[in-house]
Amino acid sequence: MILLEGGNYMGAFILVLIIMLSPALIMYIIGFSVKKNKPKTAKILFILATVYLTISLGICGSIMI
Per residue in 20-52, pLDDT (tens digit) is 889 999 999 999 999 999 999 999 999 999 999
Angstrom CA distances, 17 to 43, 44, 59, stand at 25, 24, 13
Distance between CA atoms of 48 and 9, rounded to whole angstroms?
31
- All structural domains of the chain with their residue ranges: 20-64
Decide: residue 31, CB within 10 A, 0-12 exposed, 13-18 middle, 19+ buried: buried
Question: Do 45 and 27 contact (CB within 8 A), yes or no?
Answer: yes
Decide: residue 37, CB within 10 A, 0-12 exposed, 13-18 middle, 19+ buried: exposed
What pLDDT shows up at residue 56? 83
